Amino acid sequence: MQREKGVFKPTKLTLVTILLSSMLILMGGAVVAPALNDIKQAFPGDDFLVSLIITLPSLAVAIVGYAVGLAADRFGKVKVLFIALAVFVIAGVVSYFLPSLESILVARFILGIGIAGITSTVTALIAEYYGGVQRVKVLSYQSAAMGIGVLILEFTGGTLAEISWRTPFLVYLIGIPILIMAILSMREPRMSDEDRAEIAEIVSHEKFRKANYRIVALCYVSIFFCMNLVFLLPTSIPIVLADLGASSSIVGLFLGFHGVANAVFSILYRRITVRIPPFRILGMGFLFMGIGFAVLILYPSVPLAIFTLIITGIGVGMIVPSLVNTLAGEVTGSNSGSIMGGYGTCLNFGQFAISLLSVPLLAMLSDSYYEVYCLMGVIAILYGVVISLWSVGHYRRAKAAAVAAQA
């Protein structure tokens, strides 16, 4: 580690630790998802509670995420990250030993608290450790690491699920070497005098600017619906693929395709947005997701399921950066915490809500996941069309306002 005038300088090991920690953010349900069908057989008649194994960590993040973020600001982001990694390992692995579904769900909620700590600290540390072009580059690396991590961890979880539905919980042991690396390579960020002066100048210029809360609300609704669609996959596609003859390891590999497609298009977003405005990309993303879900009913098969996972991953890779980019343009020094906190809450409640929605939807649609996919796909297509049409008028009004301001 290098230091200059009391300012911590992140090393290459720091960067690797940040990227590995970022992989863990998606591990709430991802690792266990390939074993979902086997878990349902182990606890028959409790399909809803079993599905909570995947989504309950997200509910925990939604409930405690904002408070954990405040704790990180108060006590130090690196300290909170250390504690969060320890909670992640203990709460993740303990489910391997627990005898009842109820006790596993308690552990999964505690796991979500650990993930909340990792989520709230890692991206904040990137923002404080790095600046300018380097920060953009590291954020791109983070997106790629999360996507590749999903591929590796889903496949690993699927392979372990071939042994037993319990063995995927052992994957959470990966947090131990990451915690050791964090202790060795990370320190609380210290701002230089130049950084403090720059922040003071930004705050003074933005103090009186107000966010467009209609835009903010649209972003909240969009991320909630997007996460409904995203988490419908790990809670149901393993069952669909198992019915089509795919093994647990293959299910894990296929779910990883979704994460890789997401990561690739997240990285490409900066190039796409040069030519296409964010809300049009947002509309296109929902169109991609809708098509991916809707087509599976036409010819239920493993190849078409792979197509669904890839095309929906592309859609997520368009939607999430568009929303983050839009919200970043609305925040100021005085409202960034509340706006981004609301975004995180909607994101994680969206992930959890699909567990509540999927059961009545299945009951309404003859217990057919294909019909659920088709319904959600059609809604996503309609939503994408509405967003695309609305964006035409939105950007026309914005252009007219800019011209009037210059006159």
Percent of the chain with pLDDT over 90: 29
Number of helices (H), then strands (E), belonging to the chain: the values are 14, 2
Q: How many whole angstroms separate alpha carbon 23 and alpha carbon 46?
A: 30
Tell me what pLDDT residue 209 has.
Answer: 54
Local confidence band at 231 (pLDDT 50, 70, 90 cut-offs): confident
Which pLDDT band holds residue 1 (cuts at 50, 70, 90)? very low
For the chain, give the mean pLDDT.
82
The answer, yes or no, to whether residue 178 has pLDDT greater than 90, is yes
Helix, strand or coil, per DSSP, at residue 354? helix
Beta bridge partners, 4, equal 7
Residue 10 predicted with pLDDT over 50: yes
Q: How far apart are CA 198 and CA 285, in angstroms?
A: 35
Provide φ and ψ at 344, rounded to 5°: -65, -40
Domains of the chain, start order: 7-189 (1.20.1250.20), 211-407 (1.20.1250.20)
State the average pLDDT over residues 198-205: 52
Place of tokens 């149901």: 236
Give 279-299 pLDDT, tens digit per residue. Answer: 899 999 999 999 999 998 888
Q: How many CB atoms lie within 10 A of CB 156?
A: 20
The C-alpha atoms of residue 353 and residue 55 are separated, in whole angstroms, by 8
The pLDDT value given to residue 6: 56
Task: Give residue 254's pLDDT.
Answer: 79
The answer to whether 128 and 214 have CB atoms below 8 angstroms apart is: no
Q: Which helix (H) or strand (E) segment is 7 a member of?
A: strand 7-9
Measured at the CA of 34, the angle between CA 30 and CA 37, to 5 degrees, comes to: 125
Mean pLDDT for 327-331 is 71
* Distance (Å) of CA 202 to CA 176, 189, 208, 399: 39, 19, 11, 25
Contacts of 316 (CB under 8 A, 6+ apart): 226, 230, 258, 261, 262, 265, 285, 289
Say if CB 192 and CB 20 are below 8 A apart: no
User: What percent of the chain lies above the pLDDT cut of 70?
Assistant: 86
What pLDDT sits at residue 353? 85
pLDDT tens, 138-155? Answer: 776 777 777 777 777 777
For residues 339 and 210, the answer to whether their CB atoms sit within 8 Å is no
Q: What burial letters (b/e) apply to 127-151, b meaning 16+ CB within 10 Å?
A: ebbbeeeeeeebbbbbbbbbbbbbb
d(C-alpha 255, C-alpha 383), whole Å: 25
